[in-house]
Amino acid sequence: MAKERTPISLDKLSPEVRAQLDGTPKSRGRKPGSKNRPKAKRYHGFDLGKPRGHRVRFTYQGEPGLRVFLAGDFNGWNPETKQLLDAANDGNYTVRCLVLPGRHEYKFVVNGEWILDPANQNRSCNERGDWNNVLIVE
């Protein structure tokens, strides 16, 4: 036995529901899609609309075939996130890194050994009694 359906009056439905039923766009509100989303004020810890930092080029001169990484307070002292590349295979390793304005300390990690940047004589003693290179970004 089939149940008989009761007709619904469209006048009692909201404009959004009516628009979904007949396929016409809503008369108010944002259209779907990423272009109409509210603008973010922060993105991964950075304030949008303010200067984020500067691209700084780090270089290391050594023998070809080394594994050279950059570790500093600007990347959480992670010795494997920023690898310097030897593009011409001549021992000149470079990497560009986004660094926020301020005072930063860093070191190179060459084949697993932490060493100072020989091209930067600005150094500071850290809390472990070891030395780090100092970089000032304006």
pLDDT for residue 103 = 96
The two structure tokens encoding residue 56: 């700084």
Reduced to 3 states (helix: H, G, I; strand: E, B; else coil), residue 91 is coil
Reported as type and span, the H/E element at residue 47 is strand 46-47
Amino acid identity for residue 131 in this structure: W
The verdict on residue 95 lying in a domain is: yes
pLDDT, one tens digit for every residue, the chain (138 residues): 567 777 767 677 777 777 777 765 555 555 555 555 555 566 566 556 655 789 999 999 999 999 999 999 999 999 999 999 999 999 999 999 999 999 999 999 999 999 999 999 999 998 889 999 999 998
Number of domains making up the chain: 1
Instruction: CATH number of the domain at 121, please.
Output: 2.60.40.10
Residue 21 counted as domain residue: no
pLDDT at site 32? 57
Which DSSP letter does residue 87 get? T
Evaluate whether residue 125 is within a structural domain. yes
Range of the domain at 69: 50-137
- Residue 37 belongs to a domain: no
Asked if residue 33 is part of any domain, the answer here is no
Q: What is residue 86's predicted lDDT score, i.e. its pLDDT?
A: 95
